[in-house]
Homo-oligomer: A and B are copies of this chain.
Amino acid sequence: MARTGRPRAFDKDEALERALLLFWSRGYGETSVQDLVDALALERGSLYGAFGDKRQFYLAAVRLYWDTYERRLLAALEAGPVLPALREVLTHPARAQEYASDVGVPQGCMIGNTTAELVPQDDEAREIVARSHARFTRIVADALRRAQAGGEVTQAATPEAQAQLLLFTVQGLSLVSRAGLDTSAALAAVDALIDALRA
């Protein structure tokens, strides 16, 4: 099934990445199709032809966001002690805040943003978000299970409960940080949680 016809003049993956940054920093509703057209330097028709409508485009960007995040999460947890890695994972959105003085720099976690903006009314978005939550807790719970067995993490709670608590904390930290964060206070809170997990 060899494809013929005029070849696409832009890189689809690169366009999706750019769109991801735009959607991430402005959200779904505040990003107009015109904004995308301007930022991606392509015409409306090309965009619709390549990605379908705005909603599908956004959801594709969210999927790309999560895939990237999951890869980094796995890499951070796969080797070495778990607690320092988790501290890094939790702290990441807090320190991303430092760059946020620049215009257009993404704010918060895109999964969290999507949860707030689309989930109540969009079943497909809900599925993506719920799946991301499930994968996060599963990956983290697996790491915590190993760390409990190795004596690094307390067995006062199940790995699943601890992982769920960590999900709440990342999402909460990432959300609260949008309103301007006292970085040292946030770090102290994260440290308090990490300490509480220590065996």
Contacts and interface: CB of A to CB of B under 8 A. Distances in A.
Q: How many copies of this chain? A: 2
23 contacts: A29-B29, A107-B120, A115-B178, A126-B180, A130-B179, A157-B188, A157-B191, A157-B192, A157-B195, A158-B192, A160-B188, A161-B188, A161-B189, A161-B191, A162-B189, A162-B192, A164-B185, A164-B188, A167-B172, A168-B189, A169-B169, A171-B175, A196-B196
A175 B112 contact: yes
A81 B71 CA distance: 43
B179 A126 contact: yes
Decide if the interface of chain A is mainly helix, strand, loop or mixed: helix
- For chain A, the bracket of interface size reads 35 or more
Contacts of A189: 161-162, 164-165, 167-168
A169 B112 CA distance: 13
A26 to B, nearest CB: 8
Interface of A: 25-27, 29-30, 107-108, 112-113, 115-117, 119-121, 126, 129-130, 133, 137, 156-158, 160-162, 164-165, 167-173, 175-176, 178-180, 185-186, 188-193, 195-197
A54 B180 CA distance: 24
A175 B161 CA distance: 17
Contacts of A193: 165, 196
A119 B178 contact: yes
A28 to B, nearest CB: 9
Contacts of A27: 116-117, 120
A147 to B, nearest CB: 15
A26 B164 CA distance: 26
A144 to B, nearest CB: 11
